[in-house]
Amino acid sequence: MKVYFDNAATTAIAPEVLEVMMPYLTEHFGNPSTQYSFGRETKAALEEARKTIAELINAQPGEIIFTSGGTEANNTAIKGAVKYLGVQRIITTPIEHHCVEYSVDYCRDELNIETEQVQIDDKGNIDLQDLENLLKSSDKKTLVTLMHANNEIGTLLDIEKVGALCHQYNALFHSDTVQTFAHFPFDVQRMHLDFMSASAHKFHGPKGVGFLYMRKQHKVNPFIHGGGQERGSRAGTENVYGIVGMAAAAKLAYKNLEHDKTAILEVKNYFIQRLKDTFQDIDFNGNLDERSLYTVLNVSFPPSDKSALLLFMLDMEGVCCSGGSACGSGASVGSHVIKALHKDENRVSIRFSFSKNSTKAEVDYVLIQLKKIYDN
């Protein structure tokens, strides 16, 4: 049996999405920057996709910039805010995705920007009072960059409360929503978001495409120079079939949101209970209540002489899961997120992440393999 429990790394493309994409890989191949009929066809599809994404988050189409994914979107927002919007200080946490962490480090080291880290508890929840104290402590123009849900432990940010604080203290607010767009409803107006980032392959869309929402009063220069695509915000011929696929995947996800959420939560809660019933000393990283991303479960296993090989042994039995973020080109290093939570270094943490395709039968199979590994 093969079990894919690493949907926070990437998801299988939905058949309905692939069907929508195929014409743009075959007969509708025109460059959307050209003026003749082939180009006008693909330009119309591009703008329809932009409109779809904008409507889903209560934004205007002109506020959506198509990118190659979440990493590019996050880099553009953070570095762009510093270089072109007058940001002098960044507030973040020690458990952001590396593309945010390293972008902030770049701004500190290369652009002489002041950086602050808001306090977090042992489950990755931010201290809202500490955030407010940091916002009050300086008159410097500030960017707050906090992910909506942690990709490793699933801890959710109270995005509306953070947005309200940023609005109150005139700070710009950027959120990496790569793990949550198409899994939760979004309203960028109510959430006071200035920037949000998303990536299609996290919600059964194609790889290599995402978007950045940037509030209309903000204007940053492109990092990639060339043509004037994306209204001058990003040079390069747009990935039309990918963008069309992303919009189709987002529409499908929001159409089935409550149904899929209920089904995934049922699998996740079943897994939690089976783990508790099977292992005496099991623990979990992050929240397990409504403040947790319903697609992610980070399990802390008891110390064992098998710990170092646990992921490998599960893989040998056909179980795909992760020891942390899967965005490091296969690098096997300790998780900066788990380290920041000050967890017992003798325990091994594994992230299991689910999709609408996950089943209880797969959970049962994983438990059989885990028990076999620990009992031998």
Paired residues of 143 in beta bridges:
90, 172
Question: What's the confidence (pLDDT) of residue 324?
Answer: 55
**Amino acid sitting at position 316:** M
CA distance linking residue 73 with residue 119, whole number of Å:
25
Q: Of these residues, 99, 107, 321, 327, which one is catalytic?
A: 327
Question: What's the confidence (pLDDT) of residue 327?
Answer: 52
327 among known catalytic residues: yes
Q: Could you tell me which residue, 370 or 232, shows the higher pLDDT?
A: 370
3-state SS assignment for residue 352: strand
Question: What's the confidence (pLDDT) of residue 306?
Answer: 81
The position carrying tokens 């959710």 is: 156
> Does residue 285 carry a pLDDT above 60?
yes
> Does residue 237 carry a pLDDT above 50?
yes
> For the chain, what's the residue count?
376
Question: What's the confidence (pLDDT) of residue 326?
Answer: 47
Average pLDDT over residues 105-123: 97
CA atoms within 13 A on the CB side of 364: 3
Average pLDDT, the chain: 95
Q: Which of 363, 334, 319, 351 minimizes the C-alpha distance to 4?
A: 319
| CA-to-CA dists, residue 25 to 30, 137, 240, 306, angstroms | 10, 53, 9, 47
Question: What's the confidence (pLDDT) of residue 208?
Answer: 98
Question: What's the confidence (pLDDT) of residue 344?
Answer: 86
Question: Which percentage of the chain shows pLDDT scores above 90?
Answer: 89
Judged by average pLDDT, the poorest of 41-50, 92-101, 217-226, 310-319 is 217-226
pTM above 0.85, yes or no: yes
| CA-to-CA dists, residue 321 to 2, 301, 318, 341, angstroms | 11, 14, 10, 21
> Does residue 330 carry a pLDDT above 50?
no
Domain spanning 3-11+257-375: CATH 3.40.50.410: no
User: Confidence class of residue 92 from pLDDT cuts 50, 70 and 90?
Assistant: very high
CATH class of the structural domain 15-255: alpha beta
User: For 120-153, how does the pLDDT look when each residue is reduced to its tens digit (9 = 90+)?
Assistant: 999 999 999 999 999 999 999 999 999 999 999 9
The domain ranges of the chain are 3-11+257-375, 15-255
